[in-house]
Amino acid sequence: MWTILLVIVAIAAAFFAVTRLLSSRTLPTSGSSAPDFSLPSQDGSQVSLKDYREKWVALYFYPKDMTPGCTLEAHNFQHDQEEFARRNAVVLGVSVDTPESHKRFCTKEGLNFKLLADTSHQVSKQYGSLINFGVTQIAARNTFLIDPQGKIAKSFAGVNPARHSAEVLAAIDELAGAQTQAK
Q: What is the pLDDT of residues 47-86, one digit of tens each?
A: 999 999 999 999 999 999 999 999 999 999 999 999 999 9
Q: Which residues of 129-145 are buried (b: 16+ CB within 10 A; e: fewer)?
A: bbbbeeeebbbbbbbbb
Active site residue 106: no
- Strands in the chain per DSSP E: 38-40, 46-48, 56-61, 89-95, 114-117, 130-133, 136-139, 143-146, 152-156
Q: pLDDT value at position 2?
A: 53
| Domain residue extents for the chain | 2-182
Q: 2-182, what's its fold?
A: Glutaredoxin (3.40.30)
Residues near 180 by Cβ (< 8 Å), separated by ≥ 6? none
The single residue of 39, 57, 70, 106 carrying the catalytic annotation is 70
Decide if pLDDT at 165 tops 60: yes
Give the range among 73-82, 107-116, 126-135, 142-151 with minimum mean pLDDT. 126-135
